[in-house]
Amino acid sequence: MENKLYNNELAFELATKKIDESRQGETLTVERPSTTASNGKKFYIESYGCQMNFADSEVVASILSQSGFDSTTEFTDADLILLNTCAIRDNAEQRVRHRLQHLQSVKKKKKGALIGVLGCMAERLKEKFLEEEKIVDIVAGPDAYRSLPLLIEEAETGQKAVNVLLSREETYAEINPVRLNSNGVTAFISITRGCDNMCSFCVVPFTRGRERSRDYESIVAEAKELFEKGYREVTLLGQNVDSYRYSKDPKLVGKKLVDAKYDEGVVNFARLLEMVAEVSPLLRVRFSTSHPKDMTDDVLHAMAKHPNICKYIHLPVQSGNSRVLELMNRTYDREWYMQRIEAIRNIVPDAAVSTDIITGFCTETEEEFRDTLSMMEFAKYSMSYMFFYSERPGTVAAKKYKDDIPEEVKKRRLQEVVDLQMKLSLEHNKADVGKTFEVLAEGTSHRSEEHLFGRNSQNKVVVFPKADIKPGMYVQVKVTDCTSATLKGELVH
Ligand code: SF4
């Protein structure tokens, strides 16, 4: 992997936790249910940002195909063009604005074509989006997708249509996502929506609203259905999966729900993990994203108990310094985080850990930055997502703190973190040479038609000879070589 400093968003990605760069702007096709009459119109959707957004596009596709739309991967061919947007950093928003400029020509050519923006940028800007981007006809926030057919009808009359209401209940639980561009092997299942943490640098609580957990029965049913369809891995998705809590008892809400125990009818994340793992030992279970404050030993014991719960945790640290963590309102300090890493090592010793890191947060001193480097050395991350601080309008940090670290210092610190992570990832992979792993084959290697790729339980990409192996099969691979991003091996029969 080339070691040069990319711009903030592309800083460095080693594996495909988040939707990798190559999937940004991805489009999709769906089969309209045969039971639904066609309305003679086609929709086109492009997705940006995180896994939650890609999972949401699958819900949107289901809602539109249920209301008679067919899909197309050619936006020139579409009656409805949708961009599912991200607002996590300024660059993500600039990318959408450039795309909208590009779509200007389409509207001129295709009379009546509508353009809609969905997702976090739509929620952040609301009606302002229409003022700033005149070609936009529809603005719908992450909790408004059920109203899309109505918004489309409204826009077809020539009016601008907006729904950016956030909900405390909406989980789209009974909507069967349409698996798009899927490899037929792995799939996402969203288990919570929104976030109740208020990390001072983050827009998510403002763009995705309050946290709510989805009914565990609908989650287990979706996992079962996917397994019966041949999928062999599901990733449980949430901004903070560890705070998953669901009870069928309507009286158990808020603090009562948080304090209630399993035998009082509350399912927490550890119990949900086990429920999904019990669907079949052949169904791998992953989850993302964990929060150091809420990740309990119960979750770790559930991982240790079930071989099909993958031995991989994404545990964002953001900074290694307690004063900076307090400014970020991460609600844990350096010592707490290190204790969580120790707990993982004690209870799930073969687990790999990855993280998110922000360099150059407001007032971060050089010495405090070095605490982040020493935390990386301590945690020995297998990979990380690293960014320099990008002030986001409306966040607590933007209101309270001056974005006072010069950009060249932010970038220099980011480069130091990138260099260290390259070293750690290579060491982590070198330690796997000679070991044999169970790998779930996912598809043909991007580099060689004669090779397949898959991932081991630690979420590492493994490349091996194709032989007669098909995607969806489990194989034993002995690692013979590696780079900082990939393990290479041979099949063990
Ligand atoms: S946990 Fe913090 S960083 Fe993550 S989505 Fe919630 S507010 Fe944002």
DSSP line for 412-477 = HHHHHHHHHHHHHHHHHHHTTTT-EEEEEEEEE-SS-TTEEEEE-TT--EEEEE-TT--TT-EEEE
| C-alpha dihedral sign at 196, 202, 203, 207 | negative
> At how many degrees (to 10) do helices 269-277 and 216-228 cross?
30
Domain boundaries defined on the chain: 16-163, 183-310, 311-431, 436-491
Q: Which of 17, 86, 192, 199 for a ligand 1 pocket mutation test, highest count of atoms within 8 Å of Cβ?
A: 199
Q: Ligand 1 centroid vs 291 CA: distance in angstroms?
A: 9
For residue 172, the SS3 value is: coil
Q: Ligand 1 centroid vs 80 CA: distance in angstroms?
A: 32
Indicate whether residue 482 lines ligand 1 (CB < 6 A): no
Please state the atom number of ligand 1 nearest to the C-alpha of residue 356. 3
Question: Tokens 């991989």 sit at which residue?
Answer: 312
CA distance 429 to 201: 32
CA distance 273 to 285: 8
CB 358 within 8 A of CB 369: no
| Tally of residues, the chain | 493
Q: Ligand 1 centroid vs 401 CA: distance in angstroms?
A: 18
CA distance 145 to 170: 10
Q: Report the DSSP beta bridge partners of residue 402.
A: none
Q: Which of 50, 240, 355, 395 for a ligand 1 pocket mutation test, highest count of atoms within 8 Å of Cβ?
A: 240
Residue 320 DSSP class: S
Q: Ligand 1 centroid vs 281 CA: distance in angstroms?
A: 32
CA distance 129 to 119: 12
Q: How far apart are the first and last CA of the chain?
A: 31
pLDDT of 111? 85
CA distance 262 to 252: 12
Taking the CA atoms of residue 437, residue 378, residue 204 and residue 239 in that order, the dihedral angle to the nearest 10 degrees is 40
Q: Which CATH number fits domain 436-491: 3.20.20.70, 2.40.50.140, 2.30.40.10, 1.20.950.20?
A: 2.40.50.140
For residue 275, the SS3 value is: helix
Cα 466 to its chain centre, rounded Å, is 29
CA distance 151 to 167: 17
Q: Which of 18, 195, 212 for a ligand 1 pocket mutation test, highest count of atoms within 8 Å of Cβ?
A: 195
Indicate whether residue 328 lines ligand 1 (CB < 6 A): no
CB 300 within 8 A of CB 349: no
CA distance 452 to 461: 10
Q: Which of 51, 89, 123, 204 for a ligand 1 pocket mutation test, highest count of atoms within 8 Å of Cβ?
A: 204
CA distance 148 to 114: 12
CB 191 within 8 A of CB 246: no
Please state the atom number of ligand 1 nearest to the C-alpha of residue 198. 7
Q: Report the DSSP beta bridge partners of residue 461.
A: 455, 486
- Sheet of strand 284-288, all strands in order from the earlier edge strand to the far edge: 186-190, 233-237, 284-288
Indicate whether residue 329 lines ligand 1 (CB < 6 A): no
Q: Whose CA is nearest to atom 8 of ligand 1?
A: 202
Indicate whether residue 205 lines ligand 1 (CB < 6 A): yes
Q: Which CATH number fits domain 183-310: 3.40.50.2020, 2.70.98.40, 3.30.70.20, 3.30.750.210?
A: 3.30.750.210
pLDDT of 182? 76
CB 223 within 8 A of CB 280: no
CA distance 300 to 238: 17
Residue 233, judged by CB atoms within 10 A of its CB (0-12, 13-18, 19+), counts as buried
CA distance 164 to 145: 10
Residue 241 DSSP class: G
Q: Ligand 1 centroid vs 490 CA: distance in angstroms?
A: 40
Indicate whether residue 29 lines ligand 1 (CB < 6 A): no
Q: Which CATH number is associated with domain 311-431?
A: 3.30.750.200
pTM comes to 0.91
Cα 200 to its chain centre, rounded Å, is 20
Phi, psi at 82, each rounded to 5°: -120, 135
Q: Ligand 1 centroid vs 195 CA: distance in angstroms?
A: 6
Question: What is the greatest pairwise CA distance in the chain?
Answer: 65
Same fold: 183-310 with 311-431: yes
Q: Ligand 1 centroid vs 199 CA: distance in angstroms?
A: 6
What is the full DSSP assignment across 230-293? T--EEEEE-TTGGG-EEES-TT--HHHHHH--GGGTEEEHHHHHHHHHTT-TTSEEEEE---TT
Indicate whether residue 239 lines ligand 1 (CB < 6 A): yes
Question: Tokens 């999709």 sit at which residue?
Answer: 28
Q: Ligand 1 centroid vs 413 CA: distance in angstroms?
A: 22
Buried (b) or exposed (e) across 332-349, using 16+ Cβ within 10 A? bebeebbebbeebeebbe
Query: How many CB atoms sit inside 10 A of residue 322's CB?
Result: 17
Please state the atom number of ligand 1 nearest to the C-alpha of residue 318. 3
Both tokens of 481, joined, read 């070589």
- Given a cut of 70, the residues of the chain with pLDDT beneath it are 1-33, 180-181, 261-262
Q: Ligand 1 centroid vs 384 CA: distance in angstroms?
A: 16
Q: Which CATH number is associated with domain 16-163?
A: 3.40.50.12160
Closest CA to 366 of 324, 336, 399, 308: 324
Q: Ligand 1 centroid vs 203 CA: distance in angstroms?
A: 8
CA distance 467 to 321: 49
CB 11 within 8 A of CB 418: yes
Indicate whether residue 193 lines ligand 1 (CB < 6 A): no
